[in-house]
Amino acid sequence: MNLQQLAAFRAVMMTGTVSGAAEILGRSQPAVSRMLDRLEADLGLALFERRKGLIMPMPQARRLLDEVERAYVSLDSLQALATRLAKGQGDQVNLAILPALGLSFMPRVIARFREERPGTRVSLAIRMSPTVEEWAAGQQVDFGFAEMPVRRTGFDTEIFSDSPYVTAVPSDHDLAGRSCLGPSDLAKGPLIYWTPFVAARHLLDQALITSGVRVEALCETSLSGAAYEMVKQGLGIAVIDPYTAILQHDDRIRLIPFRPAIPFSVALLRPQFRAATPAVERMLALAKTERDKVLAEVPS
């Protein structure tokens, strides 16, 4: 069974005659008849009843036509995709991004990308860093952003950014007038802290221990976005990533550098066995341009 045989069958069903099918297909009547005979032989199934030069579809032919029509819909879809690909519009970019960059930063990048490539589909999955690593290692995405350190293999890694965390303080807080904050200042919070499994928590713990500072946190969260919202609600102060700090800016909050600097190290993960398309490369280029704009606003 091949597409030519199915085309002959479909044409006969549409026109009701072999001659009509031959005209549609641009073939001779004997050629169409031979294709129908071959299709029936390949299927082991009689599709037509032939009477005095007439060809009458049998019930099984009508059932087969339903499946053939579905196949033609798929073929039409494939043809449309091929046309879009030929115009550079048929790509799809699949992303897995940690929340700090996925909630505000990447939507901005995607908006600029879509201005240039309106025909390209984009899938943005926002996941915690271990899942981003898992998907990149499994070759399930075109690229991902995850917080370092990374622990898996199966992808190439490069530093995307390492701008430091900053302190978010209510504008009416006693610390709001300071040009820089350190570990001892966090005790004047109250501090909105990271949950223990967040990479930044361990770095901040180390800075506090080294400075001999003990801090009790009444609120903990795993997301900078949530911590920033808590600061807006007057629940305390927080150390948050620079992307969230800039892109969720609120005049009620002052952003103050934290010393010693704690880098927010974001890795770009590129699956080793998934070839990058021009669309993927353009998305990355736009992400790097947008990164530079955002990080230029981080207080230092």
Higher pLDDT, 152 or 242: 242
Distance CA 265, CA 93 (A): 24
Same structural domain, 22 and 153: no
Read off the CATH number of the domain in which 284 is found: 3.40.190.10
State the DSSP string of 70-92. Answer: HHHHHHHHHHHHHHHHHTT---E
Higher pLDDT, 3 or 281: 281
Same structural domain, 193 and 237: yes
Same structural domain, 41 and 171: no
Which pLDDT score is estimated for 259? 92
> Among 17-26, 52-61, 223-232, 274-283, which stretch is predicted with the lowest mean pLDDT?
52-61
Picking from 61, 84, 107, the residue at the C-terminal end of a domain is 84
Same structural domain, 186 and 137: no
* Single-letter code of the amino acid located at 139: Q
Per-residue model confidence as pLDDT tens digits over 27-64 = 999 999 999 999 999 999 899 888 877 888 888 988 88
Q: How confident is the model at residue 203 (pLDDT cuts 50, 70, 90)?
A: confident
Percent of the chain with pLDDT over 90: 56
Which pLDDT score is estimated for 287? 97
Same structural domain, 240 and 155: no
Residues 242 and 108: beta-carbon distance below 8 Å: no
What is the average pLDDT across 121-141? Answer: 91
Whether the upstream peptide bond of residue 257 has omega within 30° of 0, thus cis, is no
Which pLDDT score is estimated for 14? 87
Task: Report the DSSP pairing between strands 237-240 and 266-271.
Answer: unpaired
Q: How confident is the model at residue 77 (pLDDT cuts 50, 70, 90)?
A: low
Within 13 Å, how many C-alpha atoms sit on residue 275's CB side? 3
What is the average pLDDT across 59-74? Answer: 81
Q: How confident is the model at residue 73 (pLDDT cuts 50, 70, 90)?
A: low
What is the average pLDDT across 63-77? Answer: 76
Read off the CATH number of the domain in which 55 is found: 1.10.10.10
Q: Which domain holds residue 39?
A: 3-84
Which pLDDT score is estimated for 264? 94
Same structural domain, 140 and 271: yes
pLDDT at 103 over 90: yes
Per the document, the length of the chain is 300
Q: Comparing C-alpha atoms, which of 140, 138, 149, 144 is closest to residue 100?
A: 144
Is the C-alpha dihedral spanning 15, 17, 18, 19 positive or negative? negative
Whether the upstream peptide bond of residue 164 has omega within 30° of 0, thus cis, is no
